[in-house]
Structure 1
Amino acid sequence: MATCDVCGKDENMPYNCRHCGGTYCGDHRLPENHGCPGLENWNDPSGVFDSGFDDSIGGGDRGGFRRTGSRSVLDRLGLDAGPGGPLSYFRNNLTYLFLAIMVVVFGIQYVFAPLFGVRLPSAGVNPGTTTWGQIFTLTTVHPEYVWTWIVSVFAHGSPAHLLFNAIALYFFGPLVERQVGSRKFAALFVVSGVLAGLGQVGVALVTGEQVAVLGASGAIMAIMGVLAITSPRLKVLLFFFIPMSIRTLTLLFAAFSIFAFVSDGGILDGVAHFAHLTGLVIGLWYGTRIKDRIGRGPRQLNIGPGGPGGPGGPGRFR
């Protein structure tokens, strides 16, 4: 039995909205009946309802009327992001695209790079002084290498590092993506990841330390920060068996990161805690801005049709 997110009614056979991930009774199952944020996407006829079929007849005329307005750059390149275009799959699926990029980058880091003579940094060597580190990590040695600002977000330091971040992104990412839309989700993920890494490097430069950071944990903490504001009662399982709300889980991670930063200057056991805090603050700020526009979020993660399920926890950000 589940509770409707709108009226609070107990429902034996609840409906899960595939657009926002919420749980609803029969009276509120339709997107228009629960103020689904996905309705905003339906206001773009050319992107949602227009397959482009009519435009192929008569040079784009529709019963004597020609479409007006400029075409986007993607349209001119033949990469229409509407339902009929090759980029349509990524609508509401950018979470999984980012997961795939993380896996591909990891393979390049540890399989293809060594094959092309790019050696992995040995123990005790600052990655920022090696070719490998200058490609995949954001460092205090070369913070001006702009490409590392983004590449480091998708790179990871070990299989466990990648696994923990991938689990958290897989479970929490789709919820935020459905709330804000794919474009804003992409901006949130990349910008928060970049700023988290730069924040950690900035602190290290001030304190005179040498660090190299990589990983998506800063971006994932931003995602959790958003959910802590928009869906504070969302129930998750820490380590897959300890039930708690997403708000409580986020507060626990924040408290631990603050303690680690104060006691150790930001890096503890190879984890960049100031980067975690930076991402979390960005997520809390963004969640506060949008909470009144997206309606109430889901109260639990569901396994099976209707939404991803199970808990994650942010992985390591080295």
Structure 2
Amino acid sequence: MALCDECGRQESMPYDCRHCGNSFCSEHRLPEAHDCPGLKNWNDPKGVFDSGFDDSTDQRGSSSGGVLSGLSATNGPLSYFRGNVSYLFLGLMLLTFVAEQVVVRGFGERLFLELFVLKSSAPLDVWTWLTSVFSHDPSGFTHILFNGIALFFFGPVVERQIGSRAFAALFIVTGVVAGLSQVVVGFALSDPTAVLGASGAIMAIMGVLTVLNPDMKVLLYFFIPVPIWLLTFGYAALSAVGIFSAFGGGIAHAAHLSGLVLGLLYGKYVERKGVKAPGQVQFGGSMGGGRRRF
């Protein structure tokens, strides 16, 4: 039986709030009954909630907009990405992967390295600070597959708790810092390095969830239930060993650890604001595919 995330009562048929992702009993199923974090953004075009019912009531005095209003972030096709930044970033990862294939096959590896890979030999190529976060090993599908699975399952859970804009900032900032951390460690160890992949940001997401609910059950490989703290810190331990050894060569362990630390710190920050995480990730989850070294 599931437990109500508000009062702790056992509930055989819990209500899952689609806005915050938590489970509740019948008494606390309504957003206002469990102090849903999205309530403060009710009717805010940039917020979590938007009924979508009769938008014309908010625009009585305006007949302008036309086609442009249908393409705005609050109407039309683009409105899908409001509250779905996790899936937007997943789409960007896939588009970047396609672009990598085009560049490698059409222009060669040199241009690929210049556009998509953060390198200790060229740390001031600032565009790679960002592009490397969304880029993955173009030689196969495993790297992007596992990072994509992790973002698909864990990203929306954190996004529902902290909001889309905060999630976007968390993902990009931690991804960039993770990559730069790997470069700095490479300099310190006199080990020239090149890095790409989203797993630094994925580890930050895991860190946030570990703080908000360390006992949250994750279905590893879709059927093995494990607490998220065990998954997170087990992977962190492997990364810590990997930094100073030949174990796990080709993986940016420093990027993983720096992303995790930032995620844990941010998790403590939002925890003090009363943010909680659900008791289980629906349909499972997996660790990221690793931020790769080239």
TM-score normalised by the chain length of structure 2: 0.89
Question: What residue number does 1:174 align with?
Answer: 156
User: Which residue matches 1:28?
Assistant: 28
1:74 aligns with none
Match of 1:70 in 2: none
Alpha-carbon distance, 1:252 to partner? 0.7
How big is the shift at 1:46? 8.3
Partner of 1:290: 270
1: CA distance, partners of 2:91 / 2:170: 18
Distance 1:259 1:280 in 2: 15
Is 1:137–2:129 an aligned residue pair? no
3-state SS in 1 of match to 2:197? coil
Q: Could you say what secondary structure the match of 1:37 adopts?
A: coil
Q: Which contiguous aligned blocks of 4+ residues in structure 1 show a shift greater than 6 angstroms? A: none
Deviations 1:6-40 (A, max 9, x none): 11111111100101110111001111111211112
Query: What is the match of residue 4 of structure 2?
Result: 4
Out of 105, 130, 133, which is 1:153 matched to?
133
Are 1:229 and 2:211 counterparts?
A: yes
Structure 2 residues not aligned, in runs of 5+: none
- 1:100 corresponds in structure 2 to 91
* Structure with bigger gyration radius: 1
Q: Post-superposition shift, 1:237?
A: 2.4
1:315 pairs, out of 274, 289, 293, with: 289
Aligned equivalents of 2:62 and 2:87: distance in 1? 36
Structure 1: distance between partners of 2:118 and 2:162: 28
Per the TM alignment, residue 207 of structure 1 is displaced from its structure 2 partner at its CA by 2.3
From the superposition, tell whether residues 222 and 45 of structure 1 become closer, same or farther in structure 2 (CA, over 3 Å): closer
Q: Aligned-residue CA RMSD in angstroms?
A: 2.1
Q: Which amino acid aligns with 2:7?
A: C
Report whether the alignment pairs 1:53 with 2:35.
Answer: no
Q: Percent identity?
A: 51
Q: CA deviation at 1:134?
A: 0.8
Tell me if the contact between 2:4 and 2:25 (Cα under 8 Å) persists in the aligned partners. yes
Q: Distance in 2 between matches of 1:55 and 1:16?
A: 30
Q: How does 1:1-318 map to 2 (within 5 A)?
A: 1-42=1-42, 44=44, 48=50, 53-54=56-57, 56-59=59-62, 80-82=72-74, 84=75, 87-110=78-101, 112-115=102-105, 117-120=106-109, 130-157=110-137, 158-264=140-246, 268-302=248-282, 309-318=283-292
Give secondary structure in 2 for the equivalent of 1:244: strand
- Cα deviation for residue 49 of structure 1 reads 6.5
The answer (yes or no) to whether the contact 1:180–1:294 under 8 Å persists in 2 is: no
d(CA) in 1 for partners of 2:62, 2:152: 43
- Contact residue 20 and residue 36 of structure 1 kept, 8 A: yes
Query: Residues of 1 paired with 2:267 and 2:77: CA distance?
Result: 31
One-letter code aligned to 2:276: R
Q: TM-score, normalised by structure 1?
A: 0.82
Q: Deviations over 1:52-97 (max 9, x none)?
A: 524543448xxxxxxxxxxxxxxxx856433x36542212111111
Distance 2:144 2:157 in 1: 20
